[in-house]
Structure 1
Amino acid sequence: MNVGLFIPCYIDQFYPDVAIATYQLLKKLGCEVSYPMDQTCCGQPMANSGFSNLTKGCDVNFVKNFKDFDYIVAPSGSCVLHIKEHLKEGGSPAEIEKIRHNVYELSEFLIDILKISELQASFPHKVGMHVSCHGQRGLHLSSMTELVAPEFSKSEQLLRMVDGLELLKPVRADECCGFGGTFCVFEEAVSVKMGKDRIEEHLVNDVEFICGGDTSCLMHMEGILNRQGLGVKTIHLAEILNSAL
């Protein structure tokens, strides 16, 4: 299948290893993967700040880069959700509808499209899983604890296929880390306090790594961990799944 690799701008600039791991993982799982070189920001930061009317240029560029792929895959639930919900211009109605229907967050693509049931990956460490709000509540990648409904998590389903990995869940499994896009800039003190609370619950479990599907959340928590001099590291889901394939 023909897959377009959609790499959010902050991953491209600050965490290229996540992009590389995603590319390698998809290739090893049999996908024909291409990375459109002219892609840039999807427009989410502007939309989050109330300026969605200024994202037309981002829409035009996104459609131009990704309209011909069967599937579009990104290691970021928040950016995928933005495209699904807010892409409205930049191409014909058919092109826009195709993109919005065929753009997937990585774990969603692996479980729902590739239907992965086993992985030859190894990561012998204690890992805490961070559930990001956009992925959970927007893309429905996992269940919500406030609902009386069957429990599920696509990321956890994948992590449980990894040899040697001990998955440890915090008490409040789906608590926000406080990043929230531009929220962490405009409400810095609240954002940091939420991040500290989130990290504390993982520390109780004596984890070595905090894993997540959104590098933005991991970046927020990584900054707090580093400033406090703690030894816990953050790691993207793609990096673990690609660890020993």
Structure 2
Amino acid sequence: MKVALFLPCYVDQFYPKVGIATLQLLEKLGCSVTYPLNQTCCGQPMANSGFENLAHDCNELFVNNFGDNYDAIVCPSGSCALHIKQHLHSDKREGDAVQIRSHMYELTEFLTDVLKVDQLPGRFPHKVGLHQSCHGQRGLHLSQMSELVAAPYSKPEKLLNMVDELELISLDRKDECCGFGGTFCVFEEAVSARMGIDRVEDHIRNGAEVLTGGDMSCLMHLEGIVRRNKLPVKVMHIAEILNQG
């Protein structure tokens, strides 16, 4: 498949190893991956803060970068992927914007729904706790919400269970928000920090050696809490774990 890789700003600037792991994983699974070099922010921070009109140039640039005929556009972030799927528009190339919206996938969504991966040649001998981010869970439906009376499922869990020797731990509150919330952590920093502490403590209390998830923004928030408090857990993006083979 011809795949375009979309990396969120914070992955590009602060966590390039996540982008590299995503690229390597997709190539191992047989994809021909292109990384449009002129890509920048998707415009989500402005839109989330009520200034979607200021994201106009971001939208046009995104369409210019990803408007080619790709089979899929893959992003290792549920929040950025959801923003593009729901909010991307273009005054000049709306037809291409519609095409992009219909071909945008979060990484684990792409692996399970499009590539239909049923085995991964990896080994990761650690106890792992999965943080299911709100955008991925409630927006992209990557996993079932615990408040619904319905059969449980989780696309990230399904993939993690394919990795040899990886033990997925159970959490007391498996789909609780970490408190990051984009600009929420700036305007309500005390509440955000408390929510993050609760989320990390749930993982540690249940024996996690590694805390993982599909959104590096949430993991960045949780890793800050881990580092400041010198807590005994490592934070890794799910792409880094799935790429272990």
- TM-score for both structures, normalised by structure 1: 0.98
Residue 104 of structure 1: aligned partner: 105
Alignment correspondent of 2:236:
235
**Is 1:200 matched with 2:201?**
yes
Gapped regions of structure 1 (runs ≥ 5): none
Q: Aligned partners of 1:205 and 1:197: how far apart in 2?
A: 12
Give secondary structure in 2 for the equivalent of 1:55: helix
**Deviations 1:16-46 (CA, angstroms, capped at 9, x unpaired):** 0000000000001000000000000000011
Out of 212-221 and 200-209, give the one that drifted further. 200-209
Segments of 4+ moved more than 4 angstroms? none
Aligned residue in 1 for 2:217: 216
Match of 2:3 in 1: 3
Asked whether the 8 Å contact 1:177–1:191 carries over to 2, the reply is: yes
Counterparts of 1:62 and 1:159 in 2: how far apart (Å)? 31
User: Pairwise CA RMSD of aligned residues?
Assistant: 0.8
The aligned residue for residue 177 of structure 2 is: 176
Write the letter of the residue equivalent to 1:79.
C
- Unpaired segments of 5 or more residues in structure 2? none
Q: State the Cα distance separating 1:91 from its structure 2 match.
A: 4.0
SS in 1 for 2:63: helix
Looking at structure 2, the residues matched to 91 and 83 of structure 1 have their Cα atoms a distance apart, in angstroms, of 17
> What are the superposed Cα offsets for residues 163-198 of structure 1, whole Å, 9 maximum, x if unpaired?
010000211110000000000011000000000111
Equivalence for 1:37: 37
In the aligned structure 1, how far is the partner of 2:200 from the partner of 2:55? 34
Counterpart of 1:13 in structure 2 is: 13
Mapped partners of 1:175, 1:23: distance in 2: 29
Asked if structure 2 preserves the Cα contact closer than 8 Å seen for 1:63 and 1:90, the reply is no
Structure 2 match to 1:155: 156
Q: What is the CA–CA distance in structure 1 between the aligned matches of 2:16 and 2:155, rounded to whole Å?
A: 23
Deviation at 1:205, TM superposition (A): 1.1
In the aligned structure 2, how far is the partner of 1:90 from the partner of 1:79? 21
CA distance in 2, matches of 1:117, 1:12: 29
Secondary structure of 1:128's partner? strand
Identical pairs, percent: 64
Instruction: Measure how far apart 1:94 and its partner are.
Output: 2.0
CA distance in 2, matches of 1:85, 1:215: 20
How many residues align? The count is 244
In 1, are the aligned partners of 2:63 and 2:93 still within 8 Å (CA)?
Answer: no
